[in-house]
Amino acid sequence: MQLPRVNSDEETSDDADTLYPDEMSEVTEDDLQEAENGARRSSERAVNVRLAASKRLLNYNDYLKLDQILSAQEPESKKFDVEIHDEMLFIIIHQTYELWFKQTLHEVDSILKCFQIKSDVLLPENDLAICSQRTERVIQILKVLVNQFDVLETMSPQGFGDFRDFLSSASGFQSKQFRLIENKLGLATDQRITHSGCPYFQHIPQVEQQQEVLEAEQAPSLLHYIQKWLELLLDESWSDSTSDFAQFMRDSIERAAAHDRHAISEYPFPIASHLPNSKRVPREKAVEEALAELEKKRLAHLRLFDPGAHHELLKQGSRRMSFKATMAVVFIQTFGTELTLQTPLVLINNLIAIDEQVSRWRQRHSTLVMRMIGSKSGTGGSNGHAYLNAVLAKSRIFLDLCHASHYLLPSHSMPALPAEVKRRLLRSKRPFATSEREFDRYSDCGGTDCPGHPELTRRETRSNSLH
Ligand code: HEM
C-alpha cells in the first residue's frame, strides 16, 4: 500500500507547510495498522465468499424471501367476498412505504452510531464523508416517497370509499417506523400535536412498539449529535471560545456598515426626477433616511451575534440550537468553499434537504387526504386534513440550519479566513478514521455468524461499528 510521505526538500513554501503540516505527512503507527488490516480484510473476505458458495446455491426467490413478501397482500374486502380492485394498490403502496422507512432507519441508525462513538472528538474526515453519503441516500429515498403519491392518486375518492370502511381503525397514525424516524432525526415532544388528550405514541396498539418509540424519543437524536459536532468544530477552529468567531463577524458587520455609510454620504442618490413634486424628497433628507435605515439593519445584524439575545430566542422556542452551534453553521456557510469545510457544508445542506423532503411528504400526504376524504375524520380518530396541516406547520427539525442564512454577510464584505484558523482546521482533520471504521467494513461479511474471524465478531466491537 502506498503511504503518504512528503519530500521535505520540495516543500519549502509557507503554503505547503500549511497544506501538509508535519503530523499529516508522517507515516504513523495508525497508517501501518491500516495497511495491515486492509490486507487481512481482503484475504478473509475471499475465504468467506468461498465458504458461502460451497454451502449452498442461493437463488433469487430464496434470497429475497419473495414467497413471504408476495403472499403478504390480503385485501380485507376480499375476505368478505366483495373484493374491491383498488385495495390491492392501497396495501402495496403502504408496504412499499414501510420498506423504505426501514431502509431510512438503517441509514439514520448508522449515522447516529458514527456520531455516538466519536461524540467527544471531532468526527474524522472519512466518517464525516460516509455520513454525508448516507444522508444523501436518505434524501433520494424521501424523494421516491414523495413521488410515490402520484401512483396512489390514480385511485379515485370513490374507489377508496368503496373499501375504506373495511379498514376499521387502522391508520398511518400507528406506523411505528414513521415515529422512529421522526424521533431519531430529532422531532421534539413539544412539537407534537395531540388530539383527544392522547399522546402520539399511544395510537400504536402494541405496547412493546410504544416502548421502542419512547426509547427513541429519549435517546440522543441526530439533531443532538449534529449540535455537538458543530460545537466541537468551532472549538477546534476558533480556539476554545466562541467569542472569537462572533467577534470576527461583529467586526465584519461594522466594517461593511462603515463602507455603506461612506457610500451613502459620498454618493447621494440622484433626485428621482420621474416622481411628481409632491413625492420628491430633498437630497439631505434622503441621505438621512438611508443612514437611519442602515443603522437599524446594523444593530439588528449585530444582535444575532449576541449570546444573550440568542438565549432569549431559545427561551421563546424560536431556536433549538445553542449559540455556539449556530456560530459554527454561520462559519461553515460563510467559508464553505475552503477545502476543509466542504464536507461539513455538504452534510449541513443534506440535513436541510432531508427536513424539506419530510415536509414535502407531509404536504403531499395532507393534500391527498383532502382529496380522498375531504374534511372527514381519519380512521385513527383525528380531524384528518386539519390535524395533518397543523403537524406540517410545526414539525421542521433542522430549521436552525436555515436560520443561519439570516446571519450571513455578502461574500465581498467578508475578510479572508485568518491563517491561524485555516491551520487549526487542517490540524483537526484526521485523514484516517480510527479502528472502529474497520468493523464497519467487516459488517458485510455475515456478523456474528461469520465463521472466518471470531475475534472480529465479539458483540461489544460490532456494536461499535457504523452499522
Ligand atoms: C387514501 C390514502 C390515505 C388517506 C385517506 C390517509 C389518511 C390519513 C389521516 C386522516 C391521517 C390522520 C390520522 C388519522 O386520523 O387517521 C393519516 C395519518 C398518517 N398517514 Fe395516512 N392516509 C393515506 C395514505 C397514507 C400512506 C400511503 C401512508 C404511507 C405510509 C400514510 C401514512 C400516514 C402516517 C405516517 C400518518 C401519521 C402522520 C402524523 O401523525 O404526523 N398515509 N393518514
Domain coordinates of the chain in residue numbers?
Answer: 97-167+222-434
Q: Report the nearest-CA residue for atom 39 of ligand 1.
A: 173
Instruction: Determine if residue 73 is left, alpha or beta; phi over 0 gives left, psi from -120 to 50 gives alpha, anything else beta.
Output: beta
What DSSP string runs through 124-186?
PHHHHHHHHHHHHHHHHHHHHHHHTHHHHTTS-HHHHHHHHGGGTT--GGG-HHHHHHHHHHT
Alpha carbon of 388 to ligand 1 centroid (Å): 8
Q: Do 223 and 186 meet the contact criterion of CB atoms below 8 Å apart?
A: yes
Count CA within 13 A, CB hemisphere, residue 163. 24
Q: Report the nearest-CA residue for atom 32 of ligand 1.
A: 172
For the chain, state the CA radius of gyration: 28
Burial class of residue 41 (count of CB atoms within 10 Å of its CB; 0-12, 13-18, 19+): middle
Q: Measured between alpha carbons, how far is residue 73 from residues 88, 93, 144 in Å?
A: 7, 11, 22
CA 163 to chain CA centroid, Å, is 38
What is the reported pLDDT for 268?
A: 66
Alpha carbon of 365 to ligand 1 centroid (Å): 7
Q: Closest ligand 1 atom to the C-alpha of 383? A: 15
Query: Which ranges of 320-458 does DSSP label H, i.e. alpha helix?
Result: 323-334, 342-373, 385-394, 399-403, 419-428, 436-442
Q: Do 431 and 23 meet the contact criterion of CB atoms below 8 Å apart?
A: no
Q: Closest ligand 1 atom to the C-alpha of 175? A: 35
CA 306 to chain CA centroid, Å, is 26
What is the reported pLDDT for 215?
A: 98
Alpha carbon of 173 to ligand 1 centroid (Å): 6
Q: Do 372 and 395 meet the contact criterion of CB atoms below 8 Å apart?
A: no
384 lines ligand 1 (CB under 6 A): yes
Q: What is the pLDDT of residues 321-351, one digit of tens each?
A: 999 999 999 999 999 999 999 999 999 999 9
Rounded CA-CA distance 223/231 in Å is 12
As a residue count, the chain comes to 467
What is the reported pLDDT for 52?
A: 75
* Residue of 91, 101, 104, 365 best suited for mutating to test ligand 1, as the one with most atoms within 8 Å of CB: 365
Rounded CA-CA distance 420/368 in Å is 54
334 lines ligand 1 (CB under 6 A): no
Rounded CA-CA distance 467/463 in Å is 8
What is the reported pLDDT for 281?
A: 74
First and final C-alpha spacing in the chain? 26
Q: Closest ligand 1 atom to the C-alpha of 387? A: 12
Rounded CA-CA distance 164/32 in Å is 64
Q: Report the nearest-CA residue for atom 34 of ligand 1.
A: 172
379 lines ligand 1 (CB under 6 A): yes
Alpha carbon of 386 to ligand 1 centroid (Å): 12
Q: Quick one: fold of 97-167+222-434?
A: Methane Monooxygenase Hydroxylase; Chain G, domain 1 (1.20.58)
Q: Closest ligand 1 atom to the C-alpha of 149? A: 27
**Cell 439575545, located at residue:** 309
91 lines ligand 1 (CB under 6 A): no
Report CA torsion sign: 371, 372, 374, 380. Answer: negative
Q: Report the nearest-CA residue for atom 6 of ligand 1.
A: 369
**Cell 366483495, located at residue:** 82
Alpha carbon of 320 to ligand 1 centroid (Å): 28
Which of the 8 DSSP states describes residue 353? H
What is the reported pLDDT for 94?
A: 98
Alpha carbon of 152 to ligand 1 centroid (Å): 12
Q: Measured between alpha carbons, how far is residue 127 from residues 54, 219, 328, 464 in Å?
A: 35, 21, 19, 13
161 lines ligand 1 (CB under 6 A): no
Q: What angle do CA 334, 340, 341 make, to 5 degrees?
A: 35
The model's pTM = 0.84
383 lines ligand 1 (CB under 6 A): no
Rounded CA-CA distance 197/195 in Å is 5
Which residues in the chain land under pLDDT 50? 1-23, 432-467
172 lines ligand 1 (CB under 6 A): yes
What is the reported pLDDT for 284?
A: 83
What DSSP string runs through 14-57?
HHHHHHS-HHHHS--HHHHHHHHHHHHHHHHHHHHHHHHHHH--
201 lines ligand 1 (CB under 6 A): no
Q: Report the nearest-CA residue for atom 40 of ligand 1.
A: 173
Rounded CA-CA distance 381/365 in Å is 17
Identify which of 223, 410, 256 has the alpha carbon closest to the alpha carbon of residue 333.
410
The three-class DSSP label of residue 295 is helix
Q: Report the nearest-CA residue for atom 16 of ligand 1.
A: 380
What is the reported pLDDT for 28?
A: 76
Q: Give, for 310, the enclosing helix (H) or strand (E).
A: helix 307-316
